[in-house]
Amino acid sequence: MSQERIIQVERDILSKNDAYADENRRHFDRNGIFALNFVSSPGSGKTSLLVRTIKDLKDRVTISVIEGDQQTSNDAARIRETGAAAIQINTGKGCHLDAHMVGHAVEDLAPVAGSTLFIENVGNLVCPSAFDLGEAHKVVVLSVTEGEDKPLKYPDMFAAADLMILNKSDLLPHLDFNVGLCIANALRVNPRLQTLIVSARTGEGMEAFYAWLEASAAQRAARAKVA
C-alpha cells in the first residue's frame, strides 16, 4: 500500500470516528453526563486512581466506568467491587478505544442523567491520542516512576489532554524524578495544560483532583445548557 493510500485510510477512519464522537458528546451534554477519557501507558495506576475516587466521592457523585483493555475483564471487576457500575470493552488486537465502541458501551451501561462517566482507555501513550470518544476532557496519567521526558516523547497525547495527573507521588522521596522538569516538558507541548500531583495510594493531593472533577462537571453542565 502506498504511503498516500495509508494516509487516506487513516483520514477516513478518523473522520468516521469523529462523527461517532460528536454523537456521543451530544448524548452526554443532553443528559448532563460528564465524561472523561483517562489515558496513560500501562501501569500508571489509572484503575487505582479511579477506584479511590469512586470510594471517596460515593456520597456526592454517581460514577460509572467503561474499561478498555485488549484482554481480561480484571479492571471492570475491580471497579465493580466499589459498587459502581462498570462495563469492559476488550479491543482484542486493537490498541485504543474508538467512539463507536464507546457509544455501544454507553447504551449498555446507561449512565444516569447528571452522573460522571470515567472511560479508562487501553494503556498506550500513542494511539488513543488521535481518537476523540466524545469526552469533555482527556486526562493523561503519568506515574513519577516513568521519567520526566515522556511529554516530549509522546507529545500528541500531552497536547490532546487538558489535565495531567502525576501519580504515585508517595514514591518521590525514593526517586530522582524532577517534578518541575516534567511539568516544564508538558507545558512545552501544551501551554494550557493543567497539572496535579497525587498519590492514589496515600490520598495525597486527591482533594485537588476531586475539586477539579466537580468544578469541571459544573462548568460543562452550564455550557451544555447555553448551547
Under the rule (CB under 8 A), what is the footprint of a second copy?
Answer: 178-181, 183-185, 187-188, 190-198, 204-208, 210-212, 214-216, 218-219
Amino acid present at 2: S
Least CB distance to a second copy at residue 213 (A): 9
46-57 vs 206-226: helix crossing angle, rounded to 10: 80
Supply the minimum distance, in Å, between the C-beta of residue 173 and a second copy: 12
Rounded distance between C-alpha atoms, residue 225 and residue 126, angstroms: 34
CB of 205 to a second copy, least distance (A): 4
Select 109 or 187, whichever has its Cβ closest to a second copy: 187
H-type alpha helices, the chain: 3-30, 46-57, 74-80, 99-109, 150-153, 155-160, 179-189, 206-226
Of 30 and 223, nearer to a second copy (C-beta) is 223
Q: Which of 103, 115, 125, 124 is nearest to 26 (CA)?
A: 103
Query: Least distance in Å: CB of 160 to a second copy?
Result: 16
Closest to a second copy by CB, 144 vs 193, is 193
| Region label for 83, one of left (φ > 0), alpha (ψ between -120 and 50) or beta (otherwise) | left
Min. distance of Cβ 152 from a second copy in angstroms?
Answer: 11
Q: What is the DSSP letter of 172?
A: G
Contact (CB, 8 A) for 224 and 29: yes
Burial of 9 (0-12, 13-18, 19+ CB in 10 A): exposed
Q: Which three cell numbers stand for residue 168?
A: 504515585
Rank residues 1 and 226 by Cβ distance to a second copy and give the closer one: 226
Minimum CB distance to a second copy smaller for 127 or for 152: 152
- Give 9 or 211: the residue with its C-beta nearer to a second copy: 211
Task: Look up residue 11 and give its amino acid.
Answer: R
CB of 70 to a second copy, least distance (A): 34
